Structure 1
Amino acid sequence: MPPGDAGLTVGLFGGSFNPPHDGHFHVALTALRRLGLHRIWWLVTPGNPLKDHSELEALEARVAAVRRLADHPRFTVTAFEATEGLSYSADTIAFLKRRRPGVRFVWVMGADNLAGFHRWQFWRQIVETLPIAIVDRPGASLSPLSAPMAEVYRHARVAEEEAGDFACRPAPAWTFLHAPLNPLSSTLLRQHGPMRQDA
């Protein structure tokens, strides 16, 4: 698990990254810059419990691919969830809060994940534990208006122009960050083969 001193602000960007691509880099960099975070930790998961694993590359291969993509001095790539036996994001967050109590964490995800966020294990616990930053993705711009999470926590939405100190805000708090859209997706890459992944 990455080190974390007290006062550090860290965006947690989790996913199977099967494979990682420029769209992922775009989400991470947008969150880093717009939220004024010190670091982004890329959490390469053993596999999404809600997805089919039949086409899932080995964890070691995905970690290596993410490290090649996430070539930035303030990005850290880790797969500690596998070694700690953590399967669900809520458990990962609880573990990190215990092990790194002085770090201020923000959950970072692309907007394409928002529509199904209410199907995540203990999703309300996640929202009530740390701020959530949602970065716009192609085809997902209307999600904040219609997703169950957004409806339930409408009162907790923070305007993006007020999100510069987002890591210091008490949960529940979520913000939607608009940014130039990158159309790449892992599904597209698996269907059509490798595409340019430098950033």
Structure 2
Amino acid sequence: MNKEAKTGLFFGSFNPIHNGHLMIASYMVEYAGLNQVWFVVSPHNPLKEKSTLLADHHRLALVNLAIEDDKRFKSSNIEFKLPKPSYTIDTLTYLTEKYPDKQFIPILGSDNLPTLHKWKNWEALLSQYTIYIYPRPDTAPSQYDKHPSLTWANAPLITVSSSFIRQGIHEGRDMRYFLPDKVWKYIEEMNFYK
């Protein structure tokens, strides 16, 4: 399989997408051997609260504003079209069948590993796919840390989170430098997270 076929799938609610997400995606292309990263905007993570989640179309719009014309990145709304709730293994199965010329590689933060055993068909996920892991702060060790299907990316540790940004905006703080400029302007215009 050629390098062009290696496509990272960066799953997330992207509520909102921020510069840390873009740094991780850029690292995966520039240093981890991926040709492209798709930002798979999730409608709702079954393991997370939905209360502060922006509407799907707004989060997809924010991702599109963030990545603009960068050919290394692509947005995907595929999980909006699949049965709910969305599960990583179902999305991977669908995309692998639809794009047989691509090798899809999920990109996950290390903070997902302690609860990986709660994911639908997690054993199949580990047996059928290589998964790239990037470091997240304050992540407890997991029984999967040394699993042969996991490739640990030596990516920079990004301590900024979407929840930190939402909280800052809610408190009236100027969070513009944590976000791509067009994302910040859209959030301000739409009065999100206040």
TM-score range, shorter chain: 0.7 to 0.9
2:111 aligned with 1:112, yes or no? yes
Structure 2 SS opposite 1:18: coil
Structure 1 residue 107, shift from structure 2 partner: 0.9
Distance in 1 (CA, whole Å) between partners of 2:176 and 2:109 is 20
Mark the runs of 5 or more structure 2 residues left unpaired by the alignment. Answer: 170-174, 182-194
The one-letter code matched in structure 1 to 2:157 is L
* Cα shift readout 1:4-52 (whole Å, capped 9, x = no counterpart): x996110011111111111211221111122211111110011101111
Kept in 2, the 8 Å contact 1:13–1:40? The answer is yes
| 1:48 alignment partner in structure 2 | 45
Post-superposition, which runs of at least 4 consecutive aligned residues in structure 1 deviate over 6 A?
none
* TM-score, structure 2 normalization: 0.80
Structure 2 SS opposite 1:51: coil
CA RMSD in angstroms, aligned pairs only: 2.1
Distance in 2 (CA, whole Å) between partners of 1:191 and 1:13 is 23
The one-letter code matched in structure 2 to 1:192 is G
Kept in 2, the 8 Å contact 1:30–1:135? The answer is no
2:54 aligned with 1:57, yes or no? yes
Matches within 5 A, 1:13-52: 13-52=10-49
* Cα shift readout 1:44-69 (whole Å, capped 9, x = no counterpart): 01110111111110000000111122
Distance in 1 (CA, whole Å) between partners of 2:15 and 2:162 is 6
| 1:164 alignment partner in structure 2 | none
Decide which of 160, 163, 174 is 2:150's aligned counterpart: 174
Kept in 2, the 8 Å contact 1:44–1:79? The answer is yes
Structure 1 residue 114, shift from structure 2 partner: 2.3
Kept in 2, the 8 Å contact 1:137–1:182? The answer is yes
How many residue pairs get matched?
Answer: 172
Matches within 5 A, 1:122-161: 122-140=121-139, 143=140, 146-150=141-145, 153=147, 156=148
Percent identity over the alignment is 33
* TM-score, structure 1 normalization: 0.79
Distance in 1 (CA, whole Å) between partners of 2:22 and 2:130 is 20
| 2:79 alignment partner in structure 1 | 81
